[in-house]
Amino acid sequence: MAHIPDGVLSAPVLATGIFISAGLLTLALRHLDDERIPHAAVLSATFFVSSLLSIPLGPSSVHLLLNGLMGLLLGWTALPALFVGLLLQAGFFGIGGVLSLGINTLNLALPALLCALILRPLLPRATAQRVFWVGAAAGAFGVLLTAGLTALSLGLSGEPFIPAAKVLLVAYVPLALVEALVTATVARFLQRIDPTLLMRMEASRA
């Protein structure tokens, strides 16, 4: 349900999503790190595939978001990577929609950006234990904030959507725990096989 389809949200919510996402993407392109483009392509493809594998959970369904992980590894580059993934999903499989692309991008990219700005500077020269817990925090934070923003988008679109928003918040709590473990494990693995991926992350680049 992180991908809100067209025809659900109100026009003001859709317009706000388009406006803010366009601004963030403009800033992200100015911060674009050419060295991160290959990593962005891999993670965008992973996000694209993982979002197709939804697990039913009550009246809703969940899937890995990976926006916390993308924020940690890519910084600002996570924003265009997520946008491209969402665009391809909408174009090829009808997941989400064209009109809702802005708000869906915002709901996923803003948590990724906050992970980049707040948690990413903690990774360089961090101990193995610290890398694990920073990764766990990024994974959980990315999911929970995305769930909150998506629920807010629904709630602001009309009172009939408030029950669905509440269900979504509850449904994404177990996903936050799973994604915390996945992100922490990936971050720790990357530190072991190629510490330079984390060492060259500078706060000024985030």
Domain annotation covers residue 1? no
In the predicted model, is pLDDT for residue 63 greater than 90? no
Q: Structural domain of residue 17, as residue ranges? A: 11-205
Q: What is the pTM of this model?
A: 0.89
Structure tokens at 6: 């067209």
Amino acid 2: pLDDT:
67
Q: Distance (Å, rounded) from C-alpha 172 to C-alpha 161?
A: 17
CATH no. for residue 41?
1.10.1760.20
pLDDT in tens, 97-130: 889 999 999 999 999 999 999 999 898 878 889 9
Domain count, the chain: 1
pLDDT band at 61 (very low <50, low <70, confident <90, very high): low
Q: Distance (Å, rounded) from C-alpha 58 to C-alpha 184?
A: 27
Domain annotation covers residue 137? yes
In the predicted model, is pLDDT for residue 202 greater than 60? no
